[in-house]
Amino acid sequence: MTPRYEEQDGVGVHDALQRLWTPHRLSYVRGEGKAVGDEPEGCPFCRVFGLDDDEGLILARGESVFAVLNLYPYNPGHLMVLPYRHVPDYTDLTPAETVEFAGFTQRAMRVIRAVASPHGFNIGMNQGVVAGAGIAAHLHQHVVPRWGGDANFMPVIGHTKVLPQLLGETRQLLADAWAEMG
């Protein structure tokens, strides 16, 4: 899809800059959908696995964990692996959950490599609010594909992340590849 640029008369001196509108980010800026408290009832991750896969951006469901696209991705294909159980800490996982959690992370990497050929990955989880967890009450691990040169001036100067594909399209691509890999 080719970006659509628009000019608007009567708003000041033309500066020759193109405007990249990201209205979907406004809900993130406003804090909409953030966790309310530490209980499952206020947890967006607990809500998402009750949705259908397309609506919830769910890529795959296992016995005790699932994979979902990050609603506010750092890069295309940025996904998360989560347990169904509402637990805050990695040490709270049962041995069976830990095995499936690790297996889903490996599979996520294979799927993203097959679909998008990243040069590397950032994989990790932030344990606790002070460690940077946006939703600390429900354990989640990020799998972020990386390409050389993917971090340009936009996030630093413009506080904007440019993503070349809509989340629904990314979800379908990765979900199909996940299913094909058996």
The DSSP annotation for the chain comes to: --------TTSS----------GGGHHHHHTTT---SSSGGG-HHHHHTTS-HHHHTEEEE-SSEEEEE-SS-SSTT-EEEEESS--SSGGGS-HHHHHHHHHHHHHHHHHHHHHH--SEEEEE---SGGGT-SSTTS--EEEEEE-TT-S-HIIIIIS----SS-HHHHHHHHHHHHHHT-
- Whether 142 contacts 80, CB under 8 Å: yes
In sequence order, what are the beta bridge partners of 146? 120
Q: Which of 24, 78, 86, 140 is catalytic?
A: 140
**Segment 10-34 mean pLDDT:** 58
**CA 164, 167, 172, 176 torsion: positive or negative?**
positive
Residue with structure tokens 């094909």?
180
* Residue 128 predicted with pLDDT over 70: yes
63 or 13, greater pLDDT? 63
pLDDT confidence tier of residue 156, bands split at 50, 70 and 90: low
Tell me, yes or no, if 14 is annotated catalytic.
Answer: no
Q: Residue 50: its pLDDT value, please?
A: 87
Q: Residue 182: its pLDDT value, please?
A: 79
* Residue 165 predicted with pLDDT over 70: yes
**Segment 54-73 mean pLDDT:** 94
pLDDT confidence tier of residue 135, bands split at 50, 70 and 90: confident
Q: Residue 129: its pLDDT value, please?
A: 87
Answer whether 0.85 is exceeded by the pTM.
no
